Structure 1
Amino acid sequence: MSDTPKEKYLLSCDWGTSTFRLRLVQREPVSVVAEVRSDQGAQRLAAHLPPRREARYREVLGQARRELSQRTDITLQAVPTLISGMASATIGWRELPYVPVPVPLAGEALLCTEVDKDPVTVLVSGICTATEVMRGEETEILGLMSLSRYEARREAARLILPGTHSKHVRVEQGSIADFVTHMTGELWGLLTEQSTLSYAATPETWRQEPESSVQESFTQGVRAAQEEPLTSLLFQVRAHQVLLGWEGAANAAYLRGVLLGAELGALGREGSANSPILLCAGPQHTAWYAKALEVLGGSRRLTVVPEATMNLAATLGHIHIARALGL
């Protein structure tokens, strides 16, 4: 007897601040059958006051479900939907409290709330420490750590998830034990677009791999961040242009080195001096973070999660959580 759509498929939804993504996924073996993306992120839907906002969330999700059903010719009424990200935030579908660490990687301790029964629709909340919060990344982490290839890392590892707000996550004894947030990406944007440094650095290099012509500048920035205060080093970007005639690309590489050096230099203070490192990054970040870790002597402990695996991280997390919930 073949599996029913409910048993065979899952609807995996990543509802971000600015974007919405719904995937129809096959559970075993894991594969994306089809997906819908739009700009109907939580920030846009937050313009509506409750209960209109809740209705808009249902409308956006319902429209995406119908589109997937039409595109694949699969009846999705019985297929459950798991939603992570900003849909459970203050500006979301329904605000859910954060679950404090430690959070077992098995997934059963996450706060999951059913917002609709037909079809079954479940919101996954975020996690917190005494001083930090996270929504969305916890699902990616559970998904990645559910893979057999990372089984040995469940006992002790440091996961680095770069982004606007980069997360350093400490995994210990099968649980997310702690995490720290670094505003590296946001600082880069502010400094290269809105500060006086924008005249001295070329921001486009943020999305390029470190070319040989600027690698030395990048390395210099990473090393300098281990010796001098960040606020002092930032102004040197301007001084490099005025006094030394540095080009914008070299200055941007130096600035990025300073920011990544400041972020990654904190790993030792965060209690992970000898732990294996999993770099969980998209293509725009991987090469830069890997190079910075090499400069800091962390290459031997580093494992880079493949881009294809990172692209499935949230989906793997939804499948893992659905299994824990019996869905």
Structure 2
Amino acid sequence: MVSARITPDWIAVDWGTSALRAFAMRGTAPIAEAVSAEGMASLAPDGFEPALLRLVGPWLGSGTTPVIACGMVGARQGWAEAPYRPVPCPPVAAGETLRLRARDPRLAVEIVPGLCQHAPADVMRGEETQIAGFLAGEPGFAGTLILPGTHSKHVRVAGGRVTGFTTWMTGELFALLATHSVLRLTLAPDGTDPAAFRHGVRQGLDGGGLAGLFALRAEALLAGLDPVAARARLSGLLIGAELAAQPPAQDCVVIGAEALARAYLDALAQAGIAARAIGAGALVCRGLALARNGGTT
């Protein structure tokens, strides 16, 4: 059986540190998706175009296909640095993309710039596109968007604009503590324990996050703390400390992968905030379509 050839109008690209995700787009709707492990961290600047071609080459015809990309592809270590747009501002703005001259004439590549905040200093790349996609569906939203991950973002939104944001290195701290600290001797490599996670969240919310870290090791030595429970408590401690340091607005939405979003919803509930969650996948395409089409989808 011969597969039907995919002929997109344009290609949406979400290029992160560790992965590259592309969507073949027809109008504002994705018709196919492709993923590779060739993220920014694994590529030199001259390696981005070949990596993109390896992934989307089957979608290209003889003409020129527009490619709208967001994320770490526009970082200083990426394909080309796309200058940040300072907040407060709409999350994306058509006409402010960085246009690249690709070697392959079939590609017309534009990179969506990230956002920056000068006081206190902070930056984001990629999340702005998800925020734009969310606001396209809920233009009147005013509150906090939490985008958890390696670096968790708390984004304040009002009037269709990002008014400020804060980055928490929660996911990266978890990985470092779990693999490069004394806690590596105590934690299971995977698994979860909801009760232990909630215990950790409560400690973090009550200000005991730092003190609770070494207690995991001590409890393992003295009382045989289960390694899966220790892993879940560490996650809860860090997320609880994040939420305690900057409580989000009561109108709060978590944007992210299902399991991580569920953990944040659980932690927010313990903090007395009834949040809701939405998946990030469709939002990226919608946000990139906004960047391409001048604010309309």
Q: Same fold (TM over 0.5)?
A: yes
Residues 186, 249 of structure 1: alpha-carbon distance in 2 compared, 3 angstrom cutoff:
same
CA deviations over 1:266-318 (Å, ceiling 9, x no partner): 333xxx443x111101023022111111111112xx1211x3xx212211111
Q: Letter of the 1:321 partner, please give it.
A: A
Partner residue of 1:243 out of 199, 216, 222: 222
Partner residue of 1:159 out of 145, 149, 153: 145
Question: Which whole-Å CA distance do the structure 1 matches of 2:208 and 2:62 have between them?
Answer: 55
Partner residue of 1:33 out of 17, 31, 38: 31
Identity %: 32
Residues 110, 161 of structure 1: alpha-carbon distance in 2 compared, 3 angstrom cutoff:
farther
Number of the residue aligned with 2:131? 141
Q: CA deviation at 1:237?
A: 0.8
1:297 aligns with 2:297: no
Residues 265, 203 of structure 1: alpha-carbon distance in 2 compared, 3 angstrom cutoff:
farther
Residues 17, 42 of structure 1: 8 Å contact kept: yes
Q: CA deviation at 1:108?
A: 2.2
Question: Which whole-Å CA distance do the structure 1 matches of 2:114 and 2:95 have between them?
Answer: 8
Q: CA deviation at 1:226?
A: 2.6
Say which SS state the counterpart of residue 97 (structure 1) adopts.
Answer: coil
Question: Which whole-Å CA distance do the structure 1 matches of 2:95 and 2:181 have between them?
Answer: 40
Question: Which whole-Å CA distance do the structure 2 matches of 1:93 and 1:311 have between them?
Answer: 23
Question: Which whole-Å CA distance do the structure 1 matches of 2:220 and 2:95 have between them?
Answer: 50
Q: Letter of the 1:138 partner, please give it.
A: E
Question: Which whole-Å CA distance do the structure 2 matches of 1:199 and 1:58 have between them?
Answer: 42
Q: Which is worse superposed, 158-167 or 284-293?
A: 284-293
The equivalences for 1:275-294 within 5 A come to 276-294=251-269
Question: Which whole-Å CA distance do the structure 2 matches of 1:38 and 1:227 have between them?
Answer: 41
Q: Letter of the 1:129 partner, please give it.
A: Q
Residues 20, 265 of structure 1: alpha-carbon distance in 2 compared, 3 angstrom cutoff:
same
1:59 aligns with 2:34: no
Q: CA deviation at 1:182?
A: 0.7
Number of the residue aligned with 2:245? 266
Residues 193, 203 of structure 1: 8 Å contact kept: no
Say which SS state the counterpart of residue 37 (structure 1) adopts.
Answer: strand
Q: Letter of the 1:251 partner, please give it.
A: A
Number of the residue aligned with 1:49? none
Residues 163, 185 of structure 1: 8 Å contact kept: yes
Q: CA deviation at 1:326?
A: 9.1
Question: Which whole-Å CA distance do the structure 2 matches of 1:323 and 1:76 have between them?
Answer: 23
Question: Which whole-Å CA distance do the structure 2 matches of 1:261 and 1:76 have between them?
Answer: 53
Question: Which whole-Å CA distance do the structure 2 matches of 1:42 and 1:170 have between them?
Answer: 27
Q: Letter of the 2:216 partner, please give it.
A: V
Q: CA deviation at 1:216?
A: 2.8
Residues 257, 311 of structure 1: alpha-carbon distance in 2 compared, 3 angstrom cutoff:
same
1:221 aligns with 2:200: yes
Number of the residue aligned with 1:112? 97
RMSD: 2.4
Q: Letter of the 1:57 partner, please give it.
A: F
Say which SS state the counterpart of residue 151 (structure 1) adopts.
Answer: coil
Question: Which whole-Å CA distance do the structure 2 matches of 1:303 and 1:87 have between them?
Answer: 30
Q: What are structure 2's unaligned runs of at least 5 residues? A: 1-5
Number of the residue aligned with 1:127? 115
Q: What are structure 1's unaligned runs of at least 5 residues? A: 47-52, 70-74, 209-213
Question: Which whole-Å CA distance do the structure 2 matches of 1:163 and 1:326 have between them?
Answer: 28
Q: Letter of the 1:252 partner, please give it.
A: R
Q: Letter of the 2:256 partner, please give it.
A: A
TM-score (norm 1): 0.80
CA deviations over 1:99-136 (Å, ceiling 9, x no partner): 1111214x327831111385432111111111111111
Question: Which whole-Å CA distance do the structure 1 matches of 2:178 and 2:158 have between them?
Answer: 37
TM-score (norm 2): 0.88
Moved over 6 A (4+): none
Residues 10, 26 of structure 1: 8 Å contact kept: yes
Residues 139, 160 of structure 2: 8 Å contact kept: no
Residues 36, 68 of structure 1: 8 Å contact kept: no
Question: Which whole-Å CA distance do the structure 2 matches of 1:94 and 1:143 have between them?
Answer: 24
Q: Letter of the 2:97 partner, please give it.
A: C
Number of the residue aligned with 1:254? 233
